[in-house]
Amino acid sequence: MWLSRNQWTMSIGILFRAHHSPLPTLLTTLNRGYINNKELIPDNYTQMILESKYPDIKIPQVDVYQYVTSNPERISDDKIIYVDGITGKSYTYGEFKHESKKFAAGLQDKLGFKRGDVLAIFSPNQIDYPIVLLGAIAAGGKVTMANPKYKANELLYQLTDSSASVLIAHPEFLEAVIEASSNAKIPISRVLLFGDKEIKGYKPYRSILIGGREVEPISYTPEETKTTTAYLPYSSGTTGKQKGVEITHTNMVANLAQLINANCKLGQQSIIMGVLPFFHIYAMTNILHATLIHGATTIILSSFNVNTFCESIQKYKINHIYAVPPIILKLVNDPLVQQFDLSSVDLIISAAAPLSDELRKKFYEMFKIPILQSYGLTETSATHYPDTKNVKNAVPGSVGVLIPNMKAKILSKDGCELGYNESGELWVQGPNIMKGYLNNKESTNAVFNEGFFNTGDIAYVDKQGNYFIVDRKKELIKYNVAPAELESILLTHYAVLDAAINYL
C-alpha cells in the first residue's frame, strides 16, 4: 500500500496517537510495508502506539501504606472493612490501622525487623492476612506471598530466593513450614503462626508481636517510592522457573490510582467476595488494597466451595465478585446453586484466564448477573479493565480498554507492529509495570524492549479500543489453534465439567 505524506499522516492519526520513533522502529515499519518509499516519509515520523482512551492521571508519589490509608473517601473508623465469612470475626477501618501498626512495631521491637527486610506469608485467605501484609509494609519491609499449596521444597525455594527473614504461616501447613524454614536457616523465633495456638513450639504471631506500641509507618521520598520494592510475588513469567517479581511502591500505588480512574464501580456500599487467593496479584490488588481505598467491605473465605460461596452471598448480600472462569463454570453446573438467593450480586469481574462467550451467556441466562472481563499479569497488575459503570455497553469477549497512563503495541511474529483487528503479541508500558525479576537481569532484559513489557499473550484490539486476549504465545498448538479456544468449545458439552488442553 502506497501513501502520500498527507494520506499517511491522516491514516495513522485517526488510529493512533503520535510518538517520535527511533530509526530501528522506522525500519521495522518500512519492512512491513506500511510505507514503501522513503521519499514519502514525513520529516516528523511517528510510530504506531496505542494509548488509553482515558486521560493520564497524576500518580501519587507516596508509599503503599500511606496511600491505602490516605482515606480519600472519608471512611469512618467504625466502618467494617474485613469480615471472616465463616466465623463472622471482623475488623473496622480503625481497627485495621491500629492492628497493622502494632504488628509493624512488634516486627521492629521483637524481631529487629529493618527497612528492606523480607517477610514471607504462607497461608490461604484469612482475616489477619491484610494485617500482616500491610503491617510489614508499614515497618519498611518487603512481602513475598507464597502459594499455600506449595510443598516444602517449593516453599524453600521462595524463602531462599527472596531472602525472607521472617515467616508468618498457617498452622495447617506446619510440617511443610518446619522443613522449609529449617533448611532456609530461619530461626524458630522468626517463624510465627496465624491463629491463637502454640504448636510444636511455634507461637502465634499475636502473642509475640502485638503489644501496645503503634509504629509510625516508614516514609519514603518520591524517588524512593519508584525504586523500593514493596511486594515479591512469584511468577514463571512467559517461560521458565518461578521468579520473584519486584513490585515497587509506585507500581502498586499507580495501579490502584489507575483503577479508580477507569470507571471502577466500587465504593463504601460495595460488599466484595474475597475468595480468590490473596497471594495472587489479582486478589491482592483488586480485593485487599482496593477495599481500603474505597471503604468497601470484603467477606473473606479461605477457599472456594459452592455451598459456602453461595451461602455467603445470601447472608452478607455480596454485590461485587472477582472470579475466575472455573468458579463460573462450577456455579453453572452445580444444581445446589439454585437453592440460594444470589440477587444481591450486581456484577462479576472475571480474569486470570479467558472466559468463553458461551459460558458467559449461559451464566447470565441462569442468574441474570453480568460478567465482564479484565486483564493483567503478576508483572503488570491490571492493564485492561472494563467500564463497570456502563455494563450494558460491554463488548462480549473483550477484557476492556487500557487503563489510564498505559500504552500498548501489538507485534507480529517478526516484530512488526500490527493495526486494528490483527492478532499479535501484546506489549504494554506504564507506571504499574514491575521493576524487574529479582536477581535475574537476564530474564528481565528478555521481557523488556524500549520500555515496553512483553506479556507473552496473543491479543488484538478493535477500532473502539477494546482488547481481546486470544491466548498465550507459547501455548499456540499446531495450525495456530489456541488451547483456550478448544477448551471453551469442550466446555459447552453438558457432560464436561472442566477442560484443559496441554502438550505431550
Q: Say what percent of the chain tops pLDDT 70.
A: 84
The pLDDT tens digits for 383-413 are 999 998 889 889 999 999 999 999 999 999 9
Write the single-letter amino acid at 362: K
Single out the residue of 355, 382, 353 nearest to residue 263, CA to CA.
382
The pLDDT tens digits for 108-166 are 999 999 999 999 999 999 999 999 999 999 999 999 999 999 999 999 999 999 999 99
Whether the per-residue pLDDT at 1 is higher than 70: the answer is no
DSSP assignments along 410-465, one per residue: EE-TTS-B--TT--EEEEEESTTS-SEETT-HHHHHHHEETTEEEEEEEEEE-TTS
319 grid coordinates: 454485590
**3-class SS of residue 294:** helix
Collect all residues with Cβ–Cβ distance below 8 Å to 355 and sequence separation of at least 6. 325, 328, 371, 373
DSSP H helical ranges for 33-151: 64-68, 93-111, 129-138
Per-residue confidence (pLDDT) for residue 409, from 0 to 100: 97
**3-class SS of residue 250:** helix
User: Mean pLDDT over residues 205-213, rounded?
Assistant: 97
Angstrom CA distances, 417 to 26, 311, 422, 457, stand at: 10, 49, 10, 15
Q: What is the mean pLDDT of the chain?
A: 88
Per-residue confidence (pLDDT) for residue 499, from 0 to 100: 67
Query: Looking up cell 482515558, which residue turns up?
Result: 54
What stretch of H or E contains 298?
Answer: strand 297-300
Per-residue confidence (pLDDT) for residue 29, from 0 to 100: 35
Buried b (16+ CB within 10 A) or exposed e, 447-456: bbeeebbbbb
Whether the per-residue pLDDT at 217 is higher than 80: the answer is yes
Lowest mean pLDDT among 8-17, 33-42, 252-261, 331-340: 8-17
Per-residue confidence (pLDDT) for residue 95, from 0 to 100: 99
The ranges assigned to domains in the chain are 5-54+408-478, 64-392
Per-residue confidence (pLDDT) for residue 389, from 0 to 100: 84
Per-residue confidence (pLDDT) for residue 41, from 0 to 100: 34
* Gap between the Cα atoms of 459 and 209, Å rounded: 47
Whether the per-residue pLDDT at 473 is higher than 50: the answer is yes
* Gap between the Cα atoms of 169 and 368, Å rounded: 40
DSSP assignments along 153-166, one per residue: HHHHHHHHHHTEEE
pLDDT bracket for residue 5 (50, 70, 90): very low
Whether the per-residue pLDDT at 36 is higher than 50: the answer is no
Contact (Cβ atoms closer than 8 angstroms) between residue 208 and residue 110: yes
Q: Which residues pair with 18 in a beta bridge?
A: 48
Q: 5-54+408-478 has which fold? A: Luciferase; domain 3 (2.30.38)
Q: 64-392 has which fold? A: Rossmann fold (3.40.50)
Q: Which residues pair with 83 in a beta bridge?
A: 90, 299
Per-residue confidence (pLDDT) for residue 263, from 0 to 100: 72
The pLDDT tens digits for 350-361 are 998 889 999 999
The pLDDT tens digits for 423-448 are 999 999 999 999 999 999 999 999 99
Angstrom CA distances, 402 to 36, 126, 242, 318, 407, stand at: 31, 32, 27, 27, 7
pLDDT bracket for residue 28 (50, 70, 90): very low
The pLDDT tens digits for 495-504 are 666 666 554 3
Please check whether the two domains, 5-54+408-478 and 64-392, share a CATH topology.
no
Lowest mean pLDDT among 4-13, 81-90, 291-300: 4-13
Contact (Cβ atoms closer than 8 angstroms) between residue 118 and residue 144: yes
DSSP class of 23: H
Collect all residues with Cβ–Cβ distance below 8 Å to 499 and sequence separation of at least 6. 486, 487, 490, 491
The pLDDT tens digits for 250-297 are 999 999 999 999 877 799 999 999 999 999 999 999 999 999 999 999
